[in-house]
Amino acid sequence: MKVLVVDDEPQIRRALRTSLEAHGYVVDTVGTGDEGVVAAAGTHPELVLLDLGLPDMDGTEVIRRIRAFSEVPIIVLSVRESQTDKVAALDAGADDYVTKPFGMEELLARSRAARRSRRRRSSCSVPCRWIWPGAW
């Protein structure tokens, strides 16, 4: 599975790349929101792991921009713990929100869950709004 990591901290990008590749994932990493949007459009990842605190734009804006052209699962990884930040990211289109620091096994499980959820919604045989209110 191809994962795009968008985080401004090189050590976080390196750690995520190392851990995800050890679990068989193919990983691309970028350090800014603009690079993240361009990479999401150009490389078509199957999952995006996104930090909110980016140098050029807030992560919620990155989510909105990616959602304009893609339904790829997006999991936010952030040190921001406030309910307001979590709600804003989820309302912008994130599939999940994990606060740093986090355990890799939990992140992997959340990644699998986000992909399952997106697959179910994209393969509905009946209108999804009947199953997932608000999906229209």
The mean pLDDT of the chain is 90
For 9-40, the pLDDT digits (tens) are 999 999 999 999 999 999 999 999 999 999 99
Write down all domains in the chain, each with its CATH number in brackets.
2-131 (3.40.50.2300)
29-42 exposure pattern, b = at least 16 Cβ within 10 A, e = fewer? bbbbbbbbbebbee
State how beta strands 74-78 and 2-6 pair.
unpaired
What confidence tier does 117 reach under pLDDT thresholds 50, 70, 90?
Answer: confident
For 59-80, the pLDDT digits (tens) are 999 999 999 999 999 999 999 9
Q: Which two tokens stand for residue 108?
A: 């992997």
53-78 exposure pattern, b = at least 16 Cβ within 10 A, e = fewer? ebeeebbbbbbebbeeebebbbbbbb
What's the whole-model pTM score? 0.87
What is the rounded average pLDDT of the residues 108-114? 93
Distance (Å, whole) CA 11 – CA 42? 24
Residue % of the chain over a pLDDT of 70:
88
For 78-88, the pLDDT digits (tens) are 999 999 999 99
Q: Which two tokens stand for residue 18?
A: 């190392």
Identify the CA nearest to 3 among candidates 92, 112, 116: 112
